[in-house]
A = this chain, B = another copy of it.
Amino acid sequence: MKVGVADTTFARVDMGAEAIDELRRHASIAIERYTVPGVKDLPVASKILLEDRGCDIVIALGMPGGKEKDRICAHEASQGLIRAQLMTNKHIIEVFVHEDEAKDDSELAWLAKNRAREHALNAILLVLHPERLVKQAGTGQRQGFEDAGPARQ
């Protein structure tokens, strides 16, 4: 199994390093990293990792700013990531942390690291243990902040 890690110089936390550290705990995984300027550069970087560099899955990490213009950039990037997946029939796990999700720099760093690590695990499950995700279906999982949990009738 080879995992691509695409991240940005725009992000204010080294989310790529966190994801890689988490992946490395699983010895059998090869990793290829690709750093681009911003989130809008992630779709093609992810597609190159999947098509030209032999990755089975990509984790695409970014940190959009808190302005309206940044939210639109993130939206454009997300659509590109979905399109790239449909062109390759492989998963790209989007790990975006919006700067305004956190109340200060310290929480932002904590959130970014935590979400990167939890989604690194999701990437492994998707490729190696899909049956474990089926067991979690409909249970209100979240990455970064606390899980929402199931809603009961």
A3 at the interface (CB under 8 A from B): no
Which residues of the other chain, B, contact A43 by a CB distance below 8 angstroms? Answer: 82, 85-86
This chain: copies in complex:
5
- Nearest chain B residue, comparing its CB with the CB of A73: B78
- For window 117-137 of chain A, which residues contact chain B by CB distance below 8 Å? 119, 122, 126, 130, 133-134, 136-137
Nearest-neighbour CB distance to chain B for A65, whole angstroms, equals 8
With A43-B85, A44-B82, A69-B98 in contact, is A13–B113 under 8 Å at CB?
no
Do residues A133 and B36 form an inter-chain contact, with CB atoms below 8 A?
yes
With A37-B119, A37-B141 in contact, is A148–B85 under 8 Å at CB?
no
Which residues of the other chain, B, contact A41 by a CB distance below 8 angstroms? Answer: 91, 93, 126
Do residues A136 and B106 form an inter-chain contact, with CB atoms below 8 A?
no
- Nearest chain B residue, comparing its CB with the CB of A69: B98
With A41-B93, A76-B75, A93-B41 in contact, is A137–B47 under 8 Å at CB?
no
